[in-house]
Amino acid sequence: MLTTALGMSSWNSATDAADRLVMPPVDGRRAFQYLESICAIGPRISGTQGMQSQQELIEKHFTALGAKVQYQEFDAAHPKSGEPVRMKNMIISWHPESQERVLLACHYDTRPFPDRELLPINRTKPFLGANDGGSGVALMMELGHHIPSIRPKFGIDFVIFDGEELVFDRDDPYFLGSEHFARTYRDNPPTHRYVGGVLVDMIADRDLNIFYERNSLKFAPEITREVWDIAKQLGIREFVPRRKHEVRDDHLPLNEIAGIPTCDIIDFDYPYWHKRNDLPAACSADSLRKTGAVVLVWLATHGQPS
Ligand SMILES: [Zn+2]
């Protein structure tokens, strides 16, 4: 019943006989275990040993699943010392031969310090970034188990940005990795073309609430509405189709520099944002499962005739 002309089977035909979306079997518990193993590394600040350990973990994971893993490297000046910091975006490609592609993005560096702590003494303590930095990677690691079995219209790249927040002071630059990626795409166009993208950030909050993000509606209104519509059809009410925050995030360079319409899926009502308690205990397997399901259906169905 669930086989289509494209030869897809099971849930990934995206609709059942009654034309309803089928919930994909995203494994929230496995995603949460990935979140825990990422956090077990410790802080993953750009240019540090923790970041390198994370890169090794990610590369091994996706290579074993059959994806093509590449690094896009560049140097950025450390905002404190001015010394070069080696930055590495990771690009994990599925069906790399496809010339028309969509991207799923997140950042994987963690902020150097929990600088939103109220007491100054606490602002010098380590920051683990379970939700802010860890959750997007964990979601991708789980989705990596499902991508090989879908037959999307477009090739898929998971793009993991470095240097989203190598930020010590308010005026330090954000989005180093996504800006580099976007400028490279604009100035040295690859043979492939991105038709659109989705960014995930802080999507594992135990108390998940994901509102329309205003810049996403401005730059990528169709994709934004598609994503929230998928959530509605899957019965995932944590995606609330109402405008709330306007967030500056890695989707801005993609939209403004690269011209890739990209929406940001972000829960910006996270109580431990840039605080020490951004730990696995503040996150949940079910939040990862729900966001993962929405994103996976979008990747499988974007551009498919409905
Ligand atoms: Zn952050």
DSSP for 77-119 reads E-TTT--EEEEEEEEEEESTT-SEEEEEEEE----SS-TT-SS
Which pLDDT band, with edges at 50, 70 and 90, does 306 fall under?
low
- Please give the residue range of the domain that contains residue 33: 20-301
pLDDT in the model for residue 191? 95
- Distance in Å, CA 186 to ligand 1 centroid: 26
- Distance in Å, CA 157 to ligand 1 centroid: 23
- Distance in Å, CA 189 to ligand 1 centroid: 29
Cα separation, 192 vs 175, in Å, equals 23
pLDDT in the model for residue 70? 98
- Distance in Å, CA 96 to ligand 1 centroid: 30
The CATH number of the domain where 234 resides is what?
Answer: 3.40.630.10
- Distance in Å, CA 188 to ligand 1 centroid: 29
- The fraction of the chain above a pLDDT of 90, given in percent, is 90
Does any domain span residue 8? no
Whether the Cβ atoms of residue 245 and residue 214 lie closer than 8 Å to each other: yes
- Distance in Å, CA 6 to ligand 1 centroid: 40
Cα separation, 294 vs 288, in Å, equals 10
Over the range 116-149, which residues count as b (16 or more CB within 10 Å of their CB) and which as e? ebeeeeebeeebbbbbbbbbbbbbbbbbbebbee
- Distance in Å, CA 61 to ligand 1 centroid: 24
Cα separation, 66 vs 83, in Å, equals 36
pLDDT digits (tens, 9 = 90+) for 35-72: 999 999 999 999 999 999 999 999 999 999 999 999 99
- The fraction of the chain above a pLDDT of 70, given in percent, is 93
Phi, psi of 121 (to 5 degrees): -60, -35
pLDDT in the model for residue 236? 97
Does any domain span residue 9? no
Does any domain span residue 286? yes
- Distance in Å, CA 297 to ligand 1 centroid: 26
pLDDT in the model for residue 305? 72
Residue 139 has pLDDT above 90, yes or no: yes
- Distance in Å, CA 136 to ligand 1 centroid: 12
Torsion of CA 38, 41, 46, 48, to 10 degrees: -160
Residue 190: DSSP 8-state: -
Helix or strand run (H / E) with residue 286 = helix 285-301
- Distance in Å, CA 298 to ligand 1 centroid: 25
Does any domain span residue 10? no
Whether the Cβ atoms of residue 15 and residue 3 lie closer than 8 Å to each other: no
pLDDT in the model for residue 8? 45
- Distance in Å, CA 227 to ligand 1 centroid: 23
Does any domain span residue 6? no
- Distance in Å, CA 14 to ligand 1 centroid: 33
Which pLDDT band, with edges at 50, 70 and 90, does 303 fall under?
confident
pLDDT digits (tens, 9 = 90+) for 159-216: 999 999 999 998 999 999 999 999 999 999 999 999 999 999 999 999 999 999 999 9
pLDDT in the model for residue 5? 33
Does any domain span residue 12? no
Whether the Cβ atoms of residue 159 and residue 67 lie closer than 8 Å to each other: no
Residue 1 has pLDDT above 50, yes or no: no
Residue 15 has pLDDT above 90, yes or no: no
Tally the domains of the chain: 1
Cα separation, 273 vs 249, in Å, equals 14
Q: What is the mean pLDDT of the chain?
A: 94
